[in-house]
Structure 1
Amino acid sequence: MTETARRSWVIDTRPLRVPAYRRLWVGNGVSFYGIQFTAVAVPVEMYELTGSSAWVGLLGVAALVPLLIFGLWGGAAADVLDRRRLLLASSLLAWVATCALFAQALLDVRSPALLLAITAVQAAGFAAGAPARNAIIPRLVGPELVPAANTLGYTTQTAGGVLGPLTAGLIFAVWSTGAGVTIAYAVDAVLFTVLLWTAWRLPPLPPLPSDDGPRPTAGLRGVLDGLRFLATRPVLLLSFGIDIVAMVLAMPRALFPEVAAERFGGGAAVGWLSAAIAIGSVLGGLTSGWIGRVRRQGVALTAAVVAWGVAVGVAGLAHSLWLAVALLAVAGAADLVSAVYRQSILQTYAPDRLRGRLQGVHSVVVVGGPRLGDLRAGATAAWGGPTLSWAGGGFAAAAVAIALVAVFPALWRYRPESDGPATR
């Protein structure tokens, strides 16, 4: 393979030449890997304490509410405060919550209510910092490298989403439940300090001076200003809408246990189905050198969502485990592409003074869409069976996405424009 051909496919690493971005990328990647230990350990500990899946389900509610509230507030705050300081403060809150999880496990407190409360605090810390973390990217690398930077970030996070749970599983295979959750929390707390260090090393990122629109606030008015701007921008509305369609109609993960047991004989099948989308995203990211050169980003986003829906739909009809895994991996690669372009469009289309607030809305969409998809999949399966729910949802997502851009062509026509110099 020639050097030119290799560069056209291999993941674009140019953003790593920017020291500030490189440190942030390392911090995000290491911390996300560590977060997976807690993501595995908290449900395990809750079930060990209560013996009830209902209590385990309450963990999702405990995390979802602060994610929604503080995601919007963090977005408004990111347009008013220095984004470096906001990221540092929110990361510190999340780290303190992780340390609290470690402490309660080490002391064997055995309180389900305390576990729910700490989970909520940790989610609030993550949600408050997420908009700032994403809004920082264009200031660090410049608009031309935003797609490449997002691809690097998503690929690293997805790799952590695969490797983290596998490593956590090894911990629980070697140690007892009590010791395992304690070790898992300790690993997360140690690895999370890398993100604190990288946030500390970022350059100051105060709001840019602007005469465009009213002075932003971190309260309800600031959130409403962001929502009003979003309501007048069809490109952004459609980019959010097409993602909601993809996740609500075509996210099949709630069906994996039933399909694995009934169609593929149980055993390790559910693990392969659960990992397949993430594996595809990692492979898609590693072969994504072409992403940054695409100018018709609206077309690419639409095509990726359609590919996601079709691949999920065909996987729902597969009666071979490995065919289903392969098709879900294709869907995962398409999902990575759509996520990169959706994030890139948001970061470059919106003015800097509003990026934080719109990132807050984006966080809510990213958090809420898959959870609504789980609800949709389970309810549809109870009515029409898992095959209809899985395959029908995938094909419906592809059809609705095509219909959306046909009726509202603003997204289809979108091309990025230059947004000024990068902050090094």
Structure 2
Amino acid sequence: MASEVITSASKPRGFLATPSYLRLWFAGGIGNAMRWLELLVAGIFTYEVTQSTVLVALVTVARSLPMLFIGTIAGVVGEALNRKRLLLTQLFVMAVSSAVLCALALSGQIRVWHIAVGGIAAGIVWAMELAVRRRMIGEVVRPDQVAPAVAFDSLTNSFARVLGPLAGGAAYQTIGLGGAYFLSAALYLAAVLAVSGLDFRQEPRKLRFGRIAIDIAEAVAVARANPAILAVVLVSIIMNMFAFSYSALIAPIGLDVYRVSPILVGALAAAEPLGAIAIGIPLSIGWIRLDGRRALLRGSLLFLMGLAAMALSPWYLLAFVLLLIGGLGTAAFSNMQTTLILTEAPPATRSRVMGIVTMCIGTGPVGVMMIGILSGQVGPPAAILIMAGLGISGLGIVWRKLIKVPAGR
């Protein structure tokens, strides 16, 4: 991936002087951290009450399935309606959801189905993330600042993936489920206050429900016609189905294969986002940048190869290092996933194309079910290896299509 690294000539910190960007960044950081906090505490509570890993998986999947089913519709809505108001609505809904779950927990009335319904509400909100907040990032900074601004936002998301679960575990242990949801509700309200002061304008566009299918079809046509956008769509499916599904088997890998403590299992889960943080820092401050769809492919390939090697590792420490190195690749993937859409898609269809990418991200639960079935048949390491191999094969097909198109197109 060294050929993708180019010295940045632009001012690296200009976007941090943009108040609108900082408000969006703060809201995104809070939202992502609380997303991972809630995911952890919901899983712990569900398992403690039911002792069922199947129900834990279902509660987790409830947060992802809305992306698959309404991602494209979310893109149409984000294209037409005022995105600032949509973002405020999203954050307020999450604050109310967390407050309701907090009240139920403190009163002792909370049940697993309450957690699942809250997860579905969160999934609907997160289906709007790319089409609303992430698109707005590309609208509030200068065109030459889009890549480092997205990189800094992705870096923050990587920190959230590490800090959110840590905060969730600490909150659950010290102040209980109700306290964890109270913390979540309070921070969502802080994000609402930050976004309420956002200076944002957009061209109004009427939302016609009868044209939703046509609007989606137009976005699909844009994606098919542009090799960079098509690469984002296909690689997003591959990564979410065959790569990121490994996280569902981190616990059995750590406990049963490497026989380490729960703390070290958590460290293994944090290895990949820590790798993403390591490369995300120089990306976000502008020392280096990743250029084009080849970086998207090569970053994804690096992670899948690291994942396959981890599945073959007989030692915990080596597995940790391999996932850490793989995280360098996921940083390239996540940055290019957003940056290519913001720079390649026409403004009139940008949110709709983001909605298609959201739907691709929503294929993750399919991968989780696949790797779960495989694990039951061949064991966790072999299941991860098979899924990684399928992902690498898929990238090979995309790459062959990609290299037929001139890089400058």
Q: Same fold (TM over 0.5)?
A: yes
Secondary structure class of the residue paired with 2:109: coil
In the alignment, which residue of structure 1 is the partner of 2:234? Answer: 241
Map of 1:191 onto structure 2? 187
Out of 263, 269, 272, the position equivalent to 1:277 is: 272
1:6-62: CA deviation from partner (whole Å, max 9, x where unpaired)? x979x9443212111012112221332233332222223333444433333331343
Moved more, 306-315 or 249-258: 249-258
* Structure 2 unmatched ranges of 5 or more: 1-6
1:348 alignment partner, one of 338, 343, 368: 343
Which residue is 1:382 aligned to? Answer: 376
Q: Is the 8 A contact 2:67 2:124 kept in 1?
A: yes
* Counterpart for residue 328 of structure 2: 333
Give the structure 2 partner of residue 307 of structure 1. Answer: 302
Report deviation, 1:188. Answer: 0.6
CA gap 1:217/1:354 in 2 versus in 1, 3 angstroms: farther
1:208 deviates by: 6.9
Report what 2:171 is aligned to.
171
The DSSP-based 3-state class of the residue aligned with 1:206 is coil
Identity within the alignment, %: 21
Q: Residues of 2 paired with 1:414 and 1:325: CA distance?
A: 37
Q: What is the deviation of 1:392?
A: 4.1
Task: Name 1:224's counterpart in structure 2.
Answer: 217
Contact kept? 1:77, 1:217, Cα under 8 Å: no
| Aligned residue in 1 for 2:3 | none
Contact 2:258 2:316 in 1 (8 A): yes
Contact 1:94-1:124 within 8 A present in 2 as well = no
Aligned-partner Cα distance in 2 for 1:115–1:273: 26
Pairing partner for 2:200 from 180, 199, 204: 204
**Separation in 1 of the partners of 2:91 and 2:117?**
17
In 2, Cα distance between equivalents of 1:157 and 1:98:
20
Structure 1: distance between partners of 2:33 and 2:260: 28
Deviations 1:260-309 (A, max 9, x none): 23331132342222111111111221232587865741221122112112
Shift of 1:147: 1.3
State the SS of the aligned residue for 2:199. coil
Matches within 5 A, 1:4-153: 12-153=12-153
CA contact (8 A) 2:232 2:357 kept: no
1:335-389 CA-partner distances (Å, limit 9, x unpaired) = 01111012100111111111111111212222323x3332332333334443333
- How many angstroms does 1:77 deviate by? 1.0
Q: 1:231 to 1:208 in 2, by over 3 A?
A: farther
Q: Is the 8 A contact 1:148 1:292 kept in 2?
A: no
The change in CA–CA distance for 1:356 and 1:100 in structure 2 (over 3 A counts) is same
Within 5 Å, give how 1:364-403 maps onto structure 2. Answer: 364-369=359-364, 371-403=365-397
Task: Report what 2:4 is aligned to.
Answer: none
State the Cα distance separating 1:129 from its structure 2 match.
Answer: 4.7
Residues 314 and 386 of structure 1: is their aligned pair in 2 closer, same or farther, counting only changes over 3 Å?
same
Shift in Å, 1:394: 2.9
Cα 1:358–1:407 change in 2 (3 A) is closer
Q: Match for 1:239: what amino acid?
A: V
Kept in 2, the 8 Å contact 1:145–1:292? The answer is no
| Partners of 1:311 and 1:328 within 8 A in 2 | yes
Shifted more, 97-106 versus 28-37: the winner is 28-37
Shift of 1:329: 0.9
CA gap of 1:411–1:169, structure 2 versus 1, over 3 A, is farther
> What is the CA deviation profile of residues 213-263 of structure 1, one whole-angstrom value per residue up to 9, with x for unaligned ones?
xx8645343333322332333321222212322332333223323322333
8 Å Cα contact 2:80/2:207 also seen in 1:
yes
2:260 counterpart of 1:266: yes
Instruction: Give the CA deviation at 1:101.
Output: 1.2
Query: 1:183: how far off?
Result: 0.6
The one-letter code of the counterpart of 1:314 is A
What letter matches 1:122 in structure 2?
Answer: A
- Comparing 129-138 with 342-351, greater Cα deviation is found at 129-138
Letter of the 2:110 partner, please give it. Answer: R
Query: Which of the residues 351, 356, 360 maps onto 1:361?
Result: 356
Count of residues paired in the alignment: 398
Instruction: Select which of 317, 320, 335 maps to 2:315.
Output: 320
CA–CA distance in 1 between the matches of 2:326 and 2:266?
A: 17
* SS of alignment partner, residue 79 of structure 1: helix
Taking structure 1 as reference, are residues 389 and 289 closer, same or farther at Cα in structure 2, changes over 3 Å only?
A: same
The 1:111–1:375 alpha-carbon spacing in structure 2 relative to 1, beyond 3 Å, is closer
Tell me if structure 2 keeps the 8 A contact 1:299–1:411: no
The CA deviation at 1:133 is 0.7
Residues 187-209 of structure 1, C-alpha deviation per residue, up to 9 Å, x if partnerless?
A: 11111122212221222332378
**RMSD of the TM alignment (CA)?**
2.7
Instruction: Give the CA deviation at 1:407.
Output: 3.2
